[in-house]
Amino acid sequence: MLTDVFIEKLACPVCKGNLAPAGESNDKYSLLCVPCGLLYPVRDGIPVMLADEALKRVGQEPGVKDC
């Protein structure tokens, strides 16, 4: 299980921004870089912090509210 404490220790390798949990479904989990909008996959509970593996969220407005 990922905890908020664990997530806080991670940073986006591209922009060093903060990450936020972004659950896609019950069995797929990912981490969203808020500043640059990249989605990092989580495989077997381990975040894959590689820019090559990240998905760019298209059409996302900057400054999306965190709720």
Binding site for Zn ion (CB under 5 A): 12, 14-15, 17, 33, 36
Residue (27 or 66) nearer to Zn ion, CB: 66
Residue (16 or 43) nearer to Zn ion, CB: 16
Reading the block at residue 45, the tokens are: 């509970």
The least distance separating Zn ion from the CB of residue 39, rounded to whole angstroms, comes to 10
The least distance separating Zn ion from the CB of residue 54, rounded to whole angstroms, comes to 8
- Alpha-carbon separation of residue 51 from 14, 58, 65 (angstroms): 7, 15, 24
Burial category of 56 from C-beta neighbours within 10 Å (exposed 0-12, middle 13-18, buried 19 and up): exposed
